[in-house]
């Protein structure tokens, strides 16, 4: 499995921003006010992934006599990290699409100001989710073998 590429996440976020902005332009007048908790929940997931990454890294490196990580657990964590990074990029793009629509109207329309604040919080939390996912993916890498100095393939 290859590491997640940043350019793929950026491309996903850009497409989601464009689609989100089109959707907002078509439906904003009928959309109810957005609760701040809509973006904060993603931040909670981001914090959880940062924490899981720290715990798994300690266990993979066997710091402090930690129990080893079963390979299936590490594989599942990498799968979660990859899915979360893509989901975070999509969600960040959707919040950015909302911001593109509401920020220019925020000084005139009260609802646009409130939705801009919510979208800003949501965007930051979605970016934190992407960061947490990339961190978790990084933490699941196998440590370099100190005996393998010539870079030969492991069997």
Out of 6-15, 89-98, 123-132, 145-154, pick the least confident: 145-154
Q: CB under 8 Å to 140, separation ≥6 — which residues?
A: 53, 56, 60, 74, 77, 78, 81
* pTM, entire model: 0.86
Query: In this prediction, what percent of the chain has a pLDDT beyond 70?
Result: 93
Question: Could you read off the pLDDT of 101-155 as tens digits, one per residue?
Answer: 999 888 888 788 999 999 999 999 999 999 999 999 999 887 776 665 555 554 4
Q: What is the DSSP letter of 34?
A: P
Q: What is the DSSP string of 132-144?
A: HHHHHHHHTSPPP
Q: CB under 8 Å to 106, separation ≥6 — which residues?
A: 112, 113, 116
């Amino acid at each position: 499995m290859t590491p997640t590429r940043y350019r793929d996440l950026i491309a996903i976020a850009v497409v989601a921003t464009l689609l989100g902005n089109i959707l907002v332009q078509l439906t904003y007048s009928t959309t109810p006010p957005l609760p701040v908790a809509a973006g904060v929940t993603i931040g909670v997931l981001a914090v959880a992934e940062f924490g899981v990454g720290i715990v798994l890294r300690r266990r993979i490196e066997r710091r402090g006599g930690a129990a080893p990580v079963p390979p299936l657990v590490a594989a599942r964590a990498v799968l979660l990290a990859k899915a979360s990074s893509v989901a975070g990029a999509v969600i960040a793009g959707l919040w950015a699409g909302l911001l593109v629509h509401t920020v220019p109207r925020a000084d005139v329309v009260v609802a646009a100001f409130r939705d801009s604040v919510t979208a800003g919080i949501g965007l930051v939390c979605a970016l934190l989710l992407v960061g947490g996912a990339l961190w978790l993916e990084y933490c699941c890498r196998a440590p370099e073998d100190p005996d393998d100095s010539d870079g030969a393939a492991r069997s």
